[in-house]
Structure 1
């Protein structure tokens, strides 16, 4: 191995695909592989994924990398680190076998569970302890739904894990969860760094149903010998526990300052801020995830980021709809760029999958408002994009009421596009830096992994490998236009709350 360069493989288990990217110890990308898989929606409120398909995809990608002579002739893998999306729930029996599909973050089946708990004395205490909003997204609500609606299945369940934990179990035979993923469950006490007693009581469970929590640098798990042999990995290859995709993407911004917000838009989207204290308000509006002990990432997520635009793209693609998705998106971005700010009087409420921050309403629904006979598909495409970003902006506004920030950093494959980043910059009316590297979660994972390996002595020092940035300044005239449209967007969202509730009931009645 003397002639080969050591590298770290980063595995990001995303909502629509897994990306495996190798980095050398200077933070330079050396290999990229991506594999997609579906999300199943047997009902508009249900979102599920097949854990076996995801694990097979990961193994297929690893095989593709490690059997490629152009990679293994030059590099050897010293460690593997994982990140993933948050809030997934997968029930297992006592033998570790899956009991159905994984329920993922966008699933709203537990809406009534969270509605009945939120605002109660117990609900407020759980939020204060865990930092996770009381919402259908949280594993706390999803697990309670299973207990109440599928009692026979619940009796067979021995453990609840996330998709990331399931992959780790398949690789090592052990159940372990990082503090970051644990802190997204609504079941983990941020101060005590253990499963929360109040949340356990509400779910009618104990800690034996959950994995051993550990910090994101933990590397004591051993990859099973048959896996090492199959992948042609050295027996000393380390598996580093890693973090959530949100924490990793925020870290890749290259700054851990509390006066900067990180805006990410991938399948979903989020606005996040760093802090040495977590961010709570009287309404339970903000998430709080542990990056490392004493360092938190707080903010708000949206259910309807890139996935909402992809929905519109497939329906409005016209002559382009048979193109591969990435090519289709570029064509539609170009069409949208020909339309003026405000889409000539058309506004889109992007709540196709209900909504998380800042309205936390699982019953919210999508609406096009202002359609007239002069509007064409390009106006609808532009309005769809703007509606998604009005929602992203609304999250930032809610954070700003409690923690001031002066600049924004944009990452995620959608937010980095010039049209998206320009609108975000103009909406916020403040300077923005845009990452030049689109795989933000993988880059953040490399930072954590290299710190765990001792290449860097702290996460702060690992920031030196952060990608370069492009600076953008807002257009004052466009900011004023967007401010007026955003005000209408916000009023429509608030006014339609009773109608969202009613249409949800009608849908579920028939």
Structure 2
């Protein structure tokens, strides 16, 4: 890869739950990165929300930071990705009425239960499992619990829609983000009137759906604040889940893309019409004719952050080695199988493949000779075995021939080996530059007419890969198989016992 500044770049803007990342790409693997973090608010145990204005400021600031690094390279387009499943209410003047309720929020537990019980057909129709994170459930919560607030709302939108509104002044969404709401009918690609009605609203309160390659103009105020020329094209782009597969190159037949950050997911891209879904799996759209089918673990790398805070408060953080990294290094000292400790680390309601919003986290088999190393390793193994359950379901849909993975948690050797061992497959690790931002940039490159499809666009922009493949170890695989058998029995017992969260925890 040459360090020479290119004449033109396309920017992949990846807006997440707690950070915004902007990456400029040019053919041949040239790239530049800027990012900003922001806090995730938790005003109650079951609440995980964002201030939309804070997110908007971070988006504009991140773009300004990136432009300052480009040495004069011309930005031809900004293509947008954002986290799925958020819900935000706007008034008639398009000002926020509600906080941005994120995918990690659990306030709509009762509404998800009701939808799952009374309207199980919605899953197949919309592709979205009926779970507290689903905006259809959150919208129903607002109309039931805060009707005065809901009455002030003219538009119900998602995080991606808010970012596009911030950048362009246009209120639109696209199929991949819309298909994660539980409010889109997959077969028609349009809003589902019955689903909106069940949530206490109507399709007239939802934004217009446009193709992922739609190009809008950057607003004058944002242009002035970022140092970009007015009118730079903003490509609508897609949601972070589907774009994660594109970014890591997992769009070919049988190639599973695994992401492991705060949460985790395993997905495969299927062409054609919507497939019949296994309970708990989702079906989201990437572009017309391409469905991203998979399942998510609500608790991914989050479990290590939680364990570091809850079990090792005395360690503290240092600039060169965060507390989470130290706790994971300790846990790696314990052999696979965690000396008999088995965990279902559902700190947030699980989504797949066992869709049970009531299921809470559990550790089994703890004795006096165990310490926090065993608890942490068991939690890591619990997450990766959860993802293995999802991959097994995907194997029933398509032959799985390759696994490509990315995400911040995979910087840890323990997460890397545990994932390969749980899947009992080689796992190719793709670096941070090969993630969602690259997927967004590929859609932007395609929208500019520089490539014939998302795959060729990604190939043109991707940095030269020197992928690292992690291979399963037979002894560790055998240990995790034994854990998996005990885990299945524990899961069945907990479901039968109705082991849900306490009232205080939501």
The question of a shared fold, defined as TM-score above 0.5 by the shorter chain, is answered with yes
1:358-382 superposed Cα distances (whole Å, 9 cap, x missing partner): 1222222122222222222222222
How much does 1:319 deviate? 5.2
Q: Contact conserved, 1:44 with 1:353, CA < 8 A, in 2?
A: no
Q: Contact conserved, 1:413 with 1:438, CA < 8 A, in 2?
A: no
Structure-1 residue corresponding to 2:25: 23
* TM-score, with length taken from structure 2: 0.93
Q: Contact conserved, 1:172 with 1:223, CA < 8 A, in 2?
A: yes
Structure-1 residue corresponding to 2:401: 406
* Count of matched residue pairs: 499
Structure-2 residue corresponding to 1:36: 37
Structure-1 residue corresponding to 2:138: 142
Structure-2 residue corresponding to 1:215: 211
How much does 1:506 deviate? 7.1
Counterparts in 2 of 1:354-369, with a 5 A limit?
354-369=349-364
Counterparts in 2 of 1:106-185, with a 5 A limit?
106-120=104-118, 122-124=119-121, 126-185=122-181
How much does 1:257 deviate? 2.1
Partner-residue secondary structure (3-state), 1:252: helix
Which structure is richer in relative contact order (CA contacts within 8 A, separation 6 or more)?
Answer: 2
How much does 1:211 deviate? 0.9
1:194 aligns with 2:190: yes
Residues 466/417 of structure 1: CA separation in 2 closer, same or farther (3 Å cut): farther
Partner-residue secondary structure (3-state), 1:496: helix
Which ranges of structure 1 fall in alignment gaps of 5 or more residues?
none
Structure-2 residue corresponding to 1:100: 98
Residues 316/28 of structure 1: CA separation in 2 closer, same or farther (3 Å cut): farther
Structure-1 residue corresponding to 2:269: 274
Structure-1 residue corresponding to 2:339: 344
1:427, 1:502 → 2: CA distance? 26
Partner-residue secondary structure (3-state), 1:382: helix
Counterparts in 2 of 1:298-309, with a 5 A limit?
298-309=293-304
1:207-241 superposed Cα distances (whole Å, 9 cap, x missing partner): 2211111121111x222212212222123411011
Structure-2 residue corresponding to 1:12: 14
Residues 507/107 of structure 1: CA separation in 2 closer, same or farther (3 Å cut): closer
Q: Contact conserved, 1:4 with 1:73, CA < 8 A, in 2?
A: no
One of 483, 494, 497 as aligned partner of 1:496: 494
Q: Contact conserved, 1:412 with 1:438, CA < 8 A, in 2?
A: no
Partner-residue secondary structure (3-state), 1:410: strand
Q: Contact conserved, 2:359 with 2:500, CA < 8 A, in 1?
A: no
2:170, 2:501 → 1: CA distance? 44
Q: Contact conserved, 1:313 with 1:332, CA < 8 A, in 2?
A: yes
Q: Contact conserved, 1:118 with 1:134, CA < 8 A, in 2?
A: yes
How much does 1:336 deviate? 1.9
Residues 452/156 of structure 1: CA separation in 2 closer, same or farther (3 Å cut): same
Partner-residue secondary structure (3-state), 2:217: coil
1:95-142 superposed Cα distances (whole Å, 9 cap, x missing partner): 11111211111212212222222254x430x22221111222111111
1:239, 1:499 → 2: CA distance? 51
Structure-2 residue corresponding to 1:73: 71
2:324, 2:5 → 1: CA distance? 42
Q: CA RMSD in A?
A: 2.2
Partner-residue secondary structure (3-state), 1:308: helix
1:199, 1:12 → 2: CA distance? 29
One of 257, 264, 289 as aligned partner of 1:262: 257
1:274-322 superposed Cα distances (whole Å, 9 cap, x missing partner): 10143333x6421111110000101111110111211112233455322
Which ranges of structure 2 fall in alignment gaps of 5 or more residues?
none
Q: Runs (4+) of structure 1 moved beyond 4 Å? A: 498-503, 505-508
2:423, 2:265 → 1: CA distance? 14
Residues 300/440 of structure 1: CA separation in 2 closer, same or farther (3 Å cut): same
1:341, 1:507 → 2: CA distance? 31
Structure-2 residue corresponding to 1:85: 83
Structure-2 residue corresponding to 1:295: 290
Partner-residue secondary structure (3-state), 1:314: helix
Residues 286/503 of structure 1: CA separation in 2 closer, same or farther (3 Å cut): closer
* TM-score, with length taken from structure 1: 0.92
One of 417, 437, 446 as aligned partner of 1:442: 437
1:412, 1:438 → 2: CA distance? 10
Structure-2 residue corresponding to 1:63: 64
1:323, 1:317 → 2: CA distance? 14
How much does 1:435 deviate? 1.1
How much does 1:165 deviate? 0.9
Q: Contact conserved, 1:27 with 1:446, CA < 8 A, in 2?
A: no
1:199, 1:82 → 2: CA distance? 27
1:310-343 superposed Cα distances (whole Å, 9 cap, x missing partner): 1112233455322259633332332222110011
Partner-residue secondary structure (3-state), 1:320: coil
Partner-residue secondary structure (3-state), 2:262: coil
Q: Contact conserved, 1:260 with 1:409, CA < 8 A, in 2?
A: yes
1:259, 1:209 → 2: CA distance? 38
